[in-house]
Structure 1
Amino acid sequence: MHYVDELLPEALIAAPGCPETVVERMLRVAATDFYRASLAWRVTTEVVPVIAGRRDVELELPADTTPLRLYWVRLDDAPLDAISERNLPPAREGTPTGYAKLTDHTLRLDRVPQVNYRRNGLVAHLAVTPTVQCDDLPDELFYAHRDGILSGGVARLMAMPNVLWSNPALAQAHYALMADHVTRARREADALSAPVVRKVRYGGL
């Protein structure tokens, strides 16, 4: 969904006289702020092959996004422990049991794998935020969070000083609306990402 095009008409009405390019910019910044605060854009990566002899693994994320938080990483369907880069052990062969984040897209395993992991490679679950260059949001995210992003964009526009559309009081009201949407979005994302607790019932004799 090209979210800026969808929200632009409503934002222009809220800021009469504002140049369209400024409104577009504020909507993009609002989307970045919304997902940075809510951590509501959760992504589970495709399986990334891990090659024998290579410790570094490159994550593939949606275009024009920045990772915010890693929730879990699995290799061969087993969870890996998160460790700091400075605590990475020297390069030794073995079965990886942990990882460190080197850059936004690169993880380094704590052991040099001795075998290839292809179909059973590395999978990560993380929160991302769109950059201001991002044009498209997944449809389900846009429809769930459109009002929060719009409120954030309108708040930024109305908070601008010395312009015809400036309205500090309404800006605060829209910031409050955005904050409510952020809280709700984060709660819903956390609920969807929560591990399933399976109850086992044992029958008696």
Structure 2
Amino acid sequence: MKLWRDFYDLMMPDVPGCPSAAADSALRQSAIAFCEQSLAWQGTHPDVPVVAGTAEYAFTPPADAVVHTIIHAALDGEEIALYPDKPGMGSINRHGRKGIPAYILAGAASLTFVPAPSAPGTLSMTVAFKPSPVSTGIVDGQFNEYREAIVHGALVRLMLSPKKPYSSTQLAQYHQQQFAVKTAAAGQRVARGYTRARLQTRIMARGIEQAVK
């Protein structure tokens, strides 16, 4: 795992005098936004033992991470396909096998079968992760592949801070554009490997969009 300070060599020269706490916060928020928009951090969730009549199960993500969404789910090998009305938020059983829930909804910390399964089984999932709100860093793979994108996103947040030596709306706009381009490219890479609807990348938050206009 790489700590937020491992990004400093690429970022700090652009924000002289920036406190490490502010830098870490900006990097964390940028990494969260990047992972949410690109779905680039994916992995196999530990198998979940399913109990008959029990609908809700907690996610068990790696340390310093949370589950952002379910990519693929199967109960005893029976695929529960992506729910079409809410991409990324749930899955629906298209085969209608008796005892298999109709769909599965992903919350912030847990998933819920609707209806509850009528028989025990094992749920296997591929999920997309993102850093937790208190994470101290990110896994090596995401750091090695996407550190430039994450740094661009962090620089947007820092350069929009008022009355700082590094405050610059013009440079924030440049880094915002770079963040959007690199995040979209990462999302397209992921989309080619999965049968999913076309990904759309937002440019950070509405407040940032307004600030750079």
Using the size of structure 1 for normalisation, the TM-score is 0.78
Q: Where does structure 1 differ by over 6 angstroms across 4 or more consecutive aligned residues?
A: none
Distance 1:53 1:36, change over 3 A: closer
Sequence identity percentage: 24
Query: 1:78: how far off?
Result: 0.7
Name which of structure 1's ranges 51-60 and 182-191 shifts more when overlaid on structure 2: 51-60
Asked whether 1:175 is paired with 2:176, we answer: yes
Contact 1:12 1:20 in 2 (8 A): no
RMSD: 2.5
Asked whether 1:163 is paired with 2:164, we answer: yes
Hey, what's the Cα distance between the residues in 2 that align with 1:126 and 1:179? 23
Matched position secondary structure for 1:45: strand
Hey, what's the Cα distance between the residues in 2 that align with 1:56 and 1:32? 25
Residue of structure 2 in register with 1:37 after alignment: 37
Query: 1:187: how far off?
Result: 0.7
Structure 1 unaligned blocks of 5 or more: 85-93, 196-205
Matched position secondary structure for 1:46: strand
What does 1:80-95 correspond to in 2, within 5 Å? 80=80, 82=83, 95=99
Hey, what's the Cα distance between the residues in 2 that align with 1:167 and 1:157? 9
Asked whether 1:16 is paired with 2:20, we answer: no
Residue of structure 1 in register with 2:205 after alignment: none
Residue of structure 1 in register with 2:153 after alignment: 152
Structure 2 unaligned blocks of 5 or more: 87-97, 197-213
Query: 1:172: how far off?
Result: 1.0
Q: How many pairs does the alignment contain?
A: 183
Distance 1:142 1:130, change over 3 A: same
Residue of structure 1 in register with 2:140 after alignment: 139
Contact 1:47 1:123 in 2 (8 A): yes
Query: 1:122: how far off?
Result: 0.2
Asked whether 1:63 is paired with 2:63, we answer: yes
Deviations 1:80-133 (A, max 9, x none): 25499xxxxxxxxx511423326321322424333x32xxx1012232321231
Structure (1 or 2) with the larger CA radius of gyration? 1
